[in-house]
């Protein structure tokens, strides 16, 4: 919103501080000033000059060398391209150093070899017209040397552009009068309130005893809170006076005609929108305010057909809607140059309903923007009288017919809000020493009345602040704090008890997982969107399942909550395979499932992926997974796919699972993860050539659990370790784990471990050389003990079908 | 005086000088010979020629016993020194020869010591944290050190925790400011149905956090939030925030300023000027926008701060009594402050990232720039 300081000065004496000081104080106390523009500064330096002579530029046909005076003794020369140069005319001259509204800064320069000291200006260059031809001719009696500001009886002005969002909660600041009160409180200058009772009584003398030609009727419940109507006759629609146009322009509005301009002016001054009808275009003798009972198409002032729905509030005559309540008038009944008689509407509307309709229509007008902040119905009358005052000033022949017509609630029933507070409480919450005198002066400057009762105050909130902004004590504290300035509060550490804090188990685990995956897994952490689309799911051949779906997504690419990290991870693979032949990454992210009871269930998963175009990374990732889980003090078991016990992390019906490269991870008896390679068929769809292995693990396991470190010290061995190697023959498809599992059947207290020493393949057979480690902690093993252990091991492998070579 | 001496000398002094001269000569002879040898056996022979039982030096040492004490005192140590020198030099030369021999063998088994992982096209070289993780952990640690717990909560939230409990009733304009992703059409769903959405801010943790503990307490809640916003270089529909609150007795605006200044000093690793100006957020009253003096120009005004000298950094304020009530806390007894911090913005500031969309692109050309090794 644009605010004119000149306009503010109608109501309070803003001190003559640099613009920067004004806006920074305002920003700190009230609302953010986004921009400051000074207007008219250039006009102060541009003066009336008289042309004495001119000659052709020696080097350019179209340019003249003009000699002129700005006083009897000060004669200057400029190069000028205008074709209306005449000896004796008076024209505006901008000397060096002036910055014109179009941004041009006048500097001494040579134009085709001739020095030019400034510029003779056109209307366009002065900022008076969008486009103009030639230099501006002033009247012949324009005093030579007089500046343009004086000559045009204009004032310099500073315009503040205030962030609308920071005024969301301040309906009272949507007009200059309310802003002036704020400035008065900030700069400690009194408010000049001309809108007194006497002023109102004076204006009401224009009312007549005639019956109003247009009555007001509220038909049932609607958006209306209060509706005032007033009829005037014999208005003369014409151009607005210069002062009115200047102010509207300063605030970003275009002048239309004097009547429309008055309605905008009053809105910008008092913050309450109003509407003026051409009364002769109202059919019948009343306006009816009601909610629509059928869909209607309505052409608003901006000549757009709007589709109105059942329930929208409109102001209608006998033929149909005239105004869309609180938002915009209709094209048909607006004021035109032919208008003679008018009907003025000043009303207040329910904020939520105005907002709902305007949001639906995508039509946010100056009017709806204000009503949706919740305005004060008590301000309607003042707004009406100010409108009347201005119309009478601009059209002295206009006459009121009848008096105020009213529909709506009894405004005297609006309760007055009183809030109890105390100096001590305000001091405590702000953490600031504050005198009672200062406190009261701030309340009074903001129009809050106070009654003292022992150490407490009862503060009466003005009606225009209590529509929703000020409700309770904390709101009062804010008023004091912001006017004092938060800069004046000294930072202090609170006096508080000390309590230990620590990360939760899940948070610690997440950090350890990240560290492990980065340092040991040599992987990069990625973060992908939790929102995915059906296209991606199809692309990954993800089995059909119901994913949680947004109703108002921005695109179909991102309208589902991912049921698993796998599709996201595969998308990352797809994206990166174009640039890299091998890469590793991981993500700690959430998967989202439907939940009958709580609507949704979110679980935190680790997904790590190794991709390699040539070398199968399965074993590498298995190693990382095993070591990671072991380092977390879990004892992971790797088991083969089992259709009886479904692993919730990897749906068994998904065709993306590799037939051989798959291991479920069981932790504490539960399936909590898996390591698997992605089936080439799915990889083909993703245009990935090579191997993709995924390690998925459910970290939600740690939400209420911490795995203990079970490490225990044991005395160092006193007796020698003995090893025994033997080689067995196995089928080509046999796995090392199958051979080792056979050895697990041997229960001997001396048997520590059996591992693979060597493997070689020949003639469709595999030869595994095994090494068993034997130790007795209590004594040196006898050869008999060793012998029987060896034969037990060989028997065990043979029994499992792996004969001794 | 009887003189027994292999040298014919006039007096004791002359004898000592001559003997010393001989020692020099012997040493010189030894070194000349040693340097011409390359075989282990030759060196061993040389060693015995000089220091063996009948070696030159040994003979000299034997003659010591026939010398008078003065001569012995002067000549003895020198002769012993020479013996040690010869023994030592021989060992050195022997070792040198042995090393050369081993080195010859090592030369047959040389590895390419320049073939480190980082020059191999097919190696997996590095790993690294997401930049968000780096900044988030750094900030979590700062808050932990100041007594704040770290909380998190659901992304899929109900209207109560995301809006109502935070003093944002239906039809409140603040709901417009936060374009919400819904799982139910709010217009078409019956009022009594609980409506779910994607949390629009981490403030949803405020009420959950308050209900789960007793004042006084402090906590932060970092995490991703969702807004139905068109994405561009500076807007994301999924981004990270950090919410924080402190509740206790007689908490004041001056405490809030103290905490913010201290924490920002830690985050930016230097003193930061802050200013509070009024800001409107339904869940705080009074509410503030906290600005920091521009870190680029130091407050003089530049293009980054739009010539103002201040940069808007975080919204904060004293917790609204209605919010305390929703969290089961009596606003008459306790109060507190709350604040929000946009983590992605800090990430972008720290690393000079020009496009927020990189953060969730999963493009390793981006992520690999944050390699740890």
CATH of the domain at B153: 3.30.930.10
What share of chain A in percent tops pLDDT 70? 100
pLDDT in the model for residue A706: 75
- Three-class SS string for A628-660? HHHHCCCCCEEECCCCCCCCCCCCCCCCCEEEE
Q: Predicted confidence band at B13 (pLDDT cuts at 50, 70, 90)? A: low
pLDDT in the model for residue B272: 86
Nearest CA in chain B to A529: B360
CA-to-CA dists, residue B344 to A295, A525, A587, B66, B306, angstroms: 46, 16, 17, 95, 21
pLDDT in the model for residue A83: 87
CA-to-CA dists, residue A681 to A533, A537, A653, A684, A692, angstroms: 21, 15, 14, 5, 12
Top residue of B124, B146, B321 to mutate, by most chain A CBs within 10 Å, is B124
CATH number attached to the domain at A505-702 = 3.30.930.10
Please state the rounded mean pLDDT for residues B46-62: 82
C-alpha distance from A327 to closest chain B C-alpha (Å): 16
Could you tell me which residues are beta bridge partners of residue B218? B246
Q: Predicted confidence band at B15 (pLDDT cuts at 50, 70, 90)? A: low
pLDDT in the model for residue B366: 97
Which sign does the torsion angle of CA B75, B79, B81, B85 carry? positive
At A343, which helix (H) or strand (E)? Answer: strand A342-349
Say yes or no to pLDDT of B14 above 80. no
A485 Cβ contact list (under 8 Å, min separation 6): A25, A28, A29
pLDDT in the model for residue B210: 94
Q: What is the pTM of this model?
A: 0.82
C-alpha distance from A295 to closest chain B C-alpha (Å): 18
Say yes or no to pLDDT of B16 above 70. no
| Contact between chains at B258 and A165 (C-beta distance less than 8 A) | no
CATH number attached to the domain at A722-799 = 3.30.70.380
| Contact between chains at A493 and B156 (C-beta distance less than 8 A) | no
C-alpha distance from A606 to closest chain B C-alpha (Å): 14
C-alpha distance from B156 to closest chain A C-alpha (Å): 7
**Mapping DSSP to helix (H, G, I), strand (E, B) and coil, where does residue B224 land?**
strand
What does the pLDDT look like over A142-192, one tens digit per residue?
999 999 989 988 888 999 999 998 898 899 999 999 999 999 999 999 999
What does the pLDDT look like over A704-738, one tens digit per residue?
877 788 889 999 989 999 999 999 999 999 999 99
A310/B231 Cα distance (integer angstroms):
35
CB-CB neighbours of A783 under 10 Å = 8
C-alpha distance from A795 to closest chain B C-alpha (Å): 43
A606/A527 Cα distance (integer angstroms):
11
Say yes or no to pLDDT of B3 above 60. no
The CATH number of A41-151, from 1.10.1530.10, 3.40.50.300, 2.40.50.140, 3.40.50.880, is 2.40.50.140
What does the pLDDT look like over A310-352, one tens digit per residue?
999 999 999 999 999 999 999 989 999 999 999 999 999 999 9
CA-to-CA dists, residue A633 to A667, A668, A678, angstroms: 10, 11, 28
- The CA-based angle A176-A178-A182, given to 5 degrees, is 105
The domain spans of chain A are 2-40+157-187, 41-151, 197-413, 420-488, 505-702, 722-799
A630 Cβ contact list (under 8 Å, min separation 6): A636
Q: What is the mean pLDDT of chain B?
A: 87
What does the pLDDT look like over A401-459, one tens digit per residue?
999 999 999 999 999 999 999 999 999 999 999 999 999 999 999 999 999 988 899 99
Query: What six digits make up the tokens of A411?
Result: 């405004």
A591/A606 Cα distance (integer angstroms):
10
Nearest CA in chain B to A494: B255
Query: What six digits make up the tokens of A8?
Result: 């503010």
Q: Predicted confidence band at B5 (pLDDT cuts at 50, 70, 90)? A: very low
Chain A CB contacts of B276 under 8 Å are 28, 486-487
CA-to-CA dists, residue A283 to A215, A320, A372, A560, B188, angstroms: 12, 9, 29, 54, 38
Clarify whether residues B290 and B171 are in a common domain.
yes
Say yes or no to pLDDT of A527 above 80. yes
Q: Which among B132, B253, B364 has CB closest to A576?
A: B364
| Contact between chains at B286 and A477 (C-beta distance less than 8 A) | yes
**Mapping DSSP to helix (H, G, I), strand (E, B) and coil, where does residue A320 land?**
strand
| Strand spans (E) along A40-120 | 47-57, 60-69, 75-80, 90-94, 109-111, 114-116, 119-120
B204/B162 Cα distance (integer angstroms):
5
Count structural domains, chain B.
Answer: 2
Question: CB distance from A585 to chain B under 8 Å?
Answer: yes
| Contact between chains at A168 and B230 (C-beta distance less than 8 A) | no
Task: Answer whether A2-40+157-187 and A420-488 agree in fold.
Answer: yes
Is residue B341 included in any domain, yes or no? yes
What does the pLDDT look like over A740-757, one tens digit per residue?
999 999 999 999 999 999
* Domain A197-413, architecture per CATH: 3-Layer(bba) Sandwich (3.50)
Phi, psi (rounded to 5 degrees) for A256 = -110, -70
What does the pLDDT look like over B112-166, one tens digit per residue?
999 988 898 888 989 999 999 999 999 999 999 999 999 999 999 999 999 999 9
Q: What is the DSSP letter of A749?
A: T
Which sign does the torsion angle of CA A345, A351, A356, A359 carry? positive
C-alpha distance from A755 to closest chain B C-alpha (Å): 28
What does the pLDDT look like over B345-357, one tens digit per residue?
999 988 999 999 9
A479/B68 Cα distance (integer angstroms):
113
CB-CB neighbours of A597 under 10 Å = 5
What does the pLDDT look like over A196-254, one tens digit per residue?
999 999 999 999 999 999 999 999 999 999 999 999 999 999 999 989 998 999 999 99
Could you tell me which residues are beta bridge partners of residue A120? A93
Residue that the structure tokens 């600031």 belong to: A432
What does the pLDDT look like over A269-293, one tens digit per residue?
999 999 999 999 999 999 999 999 9
Say yes or no to pLDDT of A664 above 80. yes
Residue pair A349/A313 in contact by the 8 Å Cβ criterion: yes
What does the pLDDT look like over B210-236, one tens digit per residue?
999 999 999 999 999 999 988 998 899
Query: What six digits make up the tokens of A230?
Result: 């007033």
Top residue of A22, A164, A167, A169 to mutate, by most chain B CBs within 10 Å, is A169
CATH number attached to the domain at A420-488 = 3.30.56.10
Please state the rounded mean pLDDT for residues A376-401: 97
Clarify whether residues B172 and B86 are in a common domain.
no
Residue pair A328/A363 in contact by the 8 Å Cβ criterion: yes
Nearest CA in chain A to B337: A429
CATH number attached to the domain at A2-40+157-187 = 3.30.56.10
Could you tell me which residues are beta bridge partners of residue A461? A417
Say yes or no to pLDDT of B12 above 70. no
Chain B CB contacts of A470 under 8 Å are none
What share of chain A in percent tops pLDDT 90? 80
* Residues constituting chain A: 805
pLDDT in the model for residue A606: 98
Is residue B170 included in any domain, yes or no? yes
| Contact between chains at A525 and B130 (C-beta distance less than 8 A) | yes
Say yes or no to pLDDT of B63 above 60. yes
Q: What is the DSSP secondary-structure string of B275-292? A: EEEE---TTEEEEEEEEE
| Contact between chains at B252 and A428 (C-beta distance less than 8 A) | yes
A610/A515 Cα distance (integer angstroms):
17
Question: CB distance from A605 to chain B under 8 Å?
Answer: no
Could you tell me which residues are beta bridge partners of residue B340? B243
CB-CB neighbours of A570 under 10 Å = 26
pLDDT in the model for residue A468: 84
Please state the rounded mean pLDDT for residues A77-97: 91
What does the pLDDT look like over A89-117, one tens digit per residue?
999 999 999 988 888 888 888 888 888 88
Greater pLDDT, A58 or A766: A766
Residues 606-645 on A with a CB inside 8 Å of B are 614-615
| Contact between chains at B181 and A561 (C-beta distance less than 8 A) | no
Clarify whether residues B88 and B139 are in a common domain.
no
Is residue B65 included in any domain, yes or no? yes
First to last CA, chain A: 92
Please state the rounded mean pLDDT for residues B179-202: 86
| Contact between chains at B128 and A519 (C-beta distance less than 8 A) | no
**Mapping DSSP to helix (H, G, I), strand (E, B) and coil, where does residue A31 land?**
coil
User: Could you tell me the residue range of the domain that residue B63 belongs to?
Assistant: 12-107
Sheet with A328-329, side-by-side order of all strands: A215-218, A286-291, A313-317, A320-324, A328-329
Q: What is the mean pLDDT of chain A?
A: 93
Say yes or no to pLDDT of A375 above 90. yes
Clarify whether residues B77 and B183 are in a common domain.
no
What does the pLDDT look like over B109-121, one tens digit per residue?
999 999 988 898 8
Chain B CB contacts of A507 under 8 Å are 150
Residue pair A324/A308 in contact by the 8 Å Cβ criterion: yes
CA-to-CA dists, residue B287 to A183, B314, B316, angstroms: 20, 11, 6
Q: Which among A486, A528, A581 has CB closest to B362?
A: A528
Q: Predicted confidence band at B173 (pLDDT cuts at 50, 70, 90)? A: low
pLDDT in the model for residue A549: 94
Q: Predicted confidence band at A497 (pLDDT cuts at 50, 70, 90)? A: confident
Say yes or no to pLDDT of B53 above 90. no
A210-237 b/e with 16+ CB inside 10 Å = b? eebbbbbebeeebbbbbbbbbbbbebeb
Nearest-CA neighbor of A262 among A394, A171, A366?
Answer: A394
pLDDT in the model for residue B11: 59
Is residue B114 included in any domain, yes or no? no
């Amino acid at each position: 919103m644009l605010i004119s300081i000149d306009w503010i000065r109608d109501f309070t004496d803003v001190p003559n501080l640099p613009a920067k000081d004004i806006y920074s104080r305002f920003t700190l106390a009230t609302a953010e000033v986004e921009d400051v523009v000074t207007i008219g500064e250039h006009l102060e330096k541009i003066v009336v000059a008289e042309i004495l002579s001119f000659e052709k530029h020696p080097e350019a046909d179209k340019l003249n060398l003009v000699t002129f005076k700005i006083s009897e003794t000060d004669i200057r020369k400029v190069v000028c391209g205008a074709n209306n140069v005449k000896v004796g005319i008076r024209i505006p001259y901008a000397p060096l150093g002036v910055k014109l509204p179009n941004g041009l800064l006048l500097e001494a320069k040579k134009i085709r070899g001739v020095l030019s000291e400034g510029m003779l200006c056109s209307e366009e260059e002065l900022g008076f017209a969008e486009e103009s031809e030639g230099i501006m001719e002033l009247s012949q009696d324009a005093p030579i040397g007089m500046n343009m500001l004086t000559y045009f009886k204009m004032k310099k002005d500073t315009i503040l552009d205030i962030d609308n969002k920071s005024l969301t909660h301040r309906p009272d600041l949507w007009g200059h009068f309310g802003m002036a009160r704020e400035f008065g409180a900030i700069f400690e200058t009194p408010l000049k309130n001309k809108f007194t009772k006497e002023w109102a009584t004076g204006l009401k003398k224009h009312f007549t005893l005639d019956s109003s030609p247009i009555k007001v009727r509220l038909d049932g419940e609607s958006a209306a809170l209060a509706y005032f109507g007033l009829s005037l006759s014999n208005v003369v629609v014409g151009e607005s006076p210069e002062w009115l146009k200047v102010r509207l322009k300063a605030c970003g509005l275009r002048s239309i005609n004097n009547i429309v301009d008055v309605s905008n002016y009053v809105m910008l001054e008092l913050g309450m929108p109003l509407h003026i009808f051409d009364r002769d275009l109202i059919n019948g003798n009343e306006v009816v305010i009601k909610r629509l009972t059928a869909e209607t198409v309505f052409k608003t002032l901006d000549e757009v057909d709007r589709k109105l729905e059942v329930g929208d509030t409109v102001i209608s005559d006998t033929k149909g809607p005239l105004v869309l309540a609180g938002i915009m008038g209709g094209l048909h009944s607006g004021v035109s140059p032919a208008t003679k008689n008018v009907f003025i509407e000043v009303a207040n509307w329910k904020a939520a309903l105005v907002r709902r309709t305007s949001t639906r229509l995508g039509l946010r007008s100056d009017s709806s923007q204000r009503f949706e902040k919740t305005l004060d119905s008590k301000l309607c009358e003042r707004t009406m009288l100010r409108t009347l005052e201005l119309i009478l000033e601009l059209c002295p022949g206009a006459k009121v017919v009848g008096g105020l017509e009213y529909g709506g609630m009894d405004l005297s029933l609006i309760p007055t809000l009183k809030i109890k507070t105390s100096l001590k409480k305000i001091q405590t919450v702000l953490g600031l020493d504050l005198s009672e005198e200062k406190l009261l002066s701030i309340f009074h400057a903001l129009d809050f009345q106070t009654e003292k009762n022992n150490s407490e105050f009862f503060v009466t909130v003005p009606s225009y602040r209590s529509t929703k902004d000020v409700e309770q004590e904390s709101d009062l504290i804010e008023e004091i704090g912001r006017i004092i300035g938060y800069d004046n509060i000294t930072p202090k550490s609170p006096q508080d008890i000390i309590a230990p804090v620590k990360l939760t188990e899940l948070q610690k685990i997440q950090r350890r997982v990240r560290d492990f995956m980065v340092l040991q897994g040599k992987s990069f952490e990625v973060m992908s969107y939790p929102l995915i689309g059906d296209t991606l799911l199809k692309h990954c051949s993800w089995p059909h399942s119901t994913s949680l779906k947004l109703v108002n997504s921005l695109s179909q690419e991102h309208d589902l909550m991912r049921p698993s990290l796998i599709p996201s991870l595969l998308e990352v693979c797809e994206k990166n395979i174009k640039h890299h032949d091998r890469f590793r990454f991981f993500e700690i992210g959430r998967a989202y499932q439907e939940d009958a009871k709580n609507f949704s269930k979110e679980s935190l998963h680790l997904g790590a992926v190794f991709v390699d175009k040539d070398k199968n990374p399965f074993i590498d990732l298995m190693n990382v997974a095993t070591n990671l889980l072991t380092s977390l003090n879990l004892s992971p078991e790797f088991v083969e796919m089992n259709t009886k016990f479904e692993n919730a992390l990897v749906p068994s019906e998904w065709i993306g699972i590799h037939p051989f490269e798959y291991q479920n991870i069981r932790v504490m008896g539960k399936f909590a993860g898996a390591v698997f390679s992605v089936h080439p068929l799915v990889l083909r769809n993703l245009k990935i050539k090579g191997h993709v292995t995924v390690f998925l693990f459910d970290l939600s396991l740690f939400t209420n659990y911490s795995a203990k470190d079970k490490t225990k010290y044991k005395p160092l061995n006193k007796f020698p370790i003995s090893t025994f190697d033997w080689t067995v023959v196995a089928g080509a498809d046999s796995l090392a784990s199958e051979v080792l599992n056979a050895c697990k059947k041997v229960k001997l207290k001396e048997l520590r471990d059996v591992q693979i020493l060597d493997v070689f393949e020949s003639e469709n057979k595999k030869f595994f050389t095994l090494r068993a480690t034997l130790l007795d902690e209590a004594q040196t093993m006898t050869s008999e003990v060793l012998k029987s252990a060896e034969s037990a091991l060989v028997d065990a492998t043979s029994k499992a079908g792996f004969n001794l070579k | 005086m009887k003189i027994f001496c292999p040298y014919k000398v006039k007096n004791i002094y002359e004898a000592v000088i001559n003997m010393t001269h001989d020692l020099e000569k012997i040493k010189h002879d030894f070194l000349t010979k040693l340097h011409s040898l390359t075989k282990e056996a030759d060196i061993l022979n040389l060693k015995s020629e000089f220091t063996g039982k009948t070696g030159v030096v040994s003979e000299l040492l034997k003659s010591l016993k026939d010398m008078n004490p003065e001569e012995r005192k002067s000549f003895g140590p020198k002769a012993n020194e020479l013996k040690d020198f010869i023994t030592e030099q021989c060992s050195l030369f022997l070792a040198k020869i042995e090393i050369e021999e081993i080195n010859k063998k090592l030369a047959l088994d040389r590895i390419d010591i320049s073939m480190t992982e980082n020059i191999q096209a097919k190696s997996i070289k590095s790993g690294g944290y997401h930049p968000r993780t780096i900044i988030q952990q750094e900030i979590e640690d700062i808050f932990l050190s100041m007594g704040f717990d770290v909380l998190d909560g659901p992304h899929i939230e109900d209207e109560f925790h995301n809006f109502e409990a935070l003093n944002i009733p239906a039809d409140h304009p603040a709901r417009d400011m936060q374009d919400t992703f819904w799982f139910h059409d709010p217009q078409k769903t019956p009022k009594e149905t609980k409506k779910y959405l994607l949390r629009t801010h981490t403030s949803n943790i405020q009420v959950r956090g308050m209900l789960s503990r007793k004042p006084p307490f402090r906590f932060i809640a970092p995490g991703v939030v969702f807004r139905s916003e068109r994405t561009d270089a500076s807007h994301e529909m999924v981004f990270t925030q950090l919410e924080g609150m402190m509740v206790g007795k007689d908490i004041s605006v001056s405490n809030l300023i103290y905490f913010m200044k201290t924490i920002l000093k830690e985050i930016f690793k230097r003193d930061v000027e802050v200013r509070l100006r009024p800001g409107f957020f339904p869940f705080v009253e009074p509410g503030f926008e906290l600005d920091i003096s521009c870190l680029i120009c130091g407050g003089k005004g530049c293009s980054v701060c739009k010539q103002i000298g201040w940069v808007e950094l975080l919204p904060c304020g004293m917790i609204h009594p209605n919010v305390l009530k929703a969290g089961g806390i009596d606003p008459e007894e306790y109060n507190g402050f709350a604040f929000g911090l946009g983590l992605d913005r800090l990430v972008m500031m720290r690393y000079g990232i020009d496009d927020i969309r990189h953060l969730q692109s999963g493009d390793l050309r981006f992520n690999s720039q944050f390699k740890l090794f």
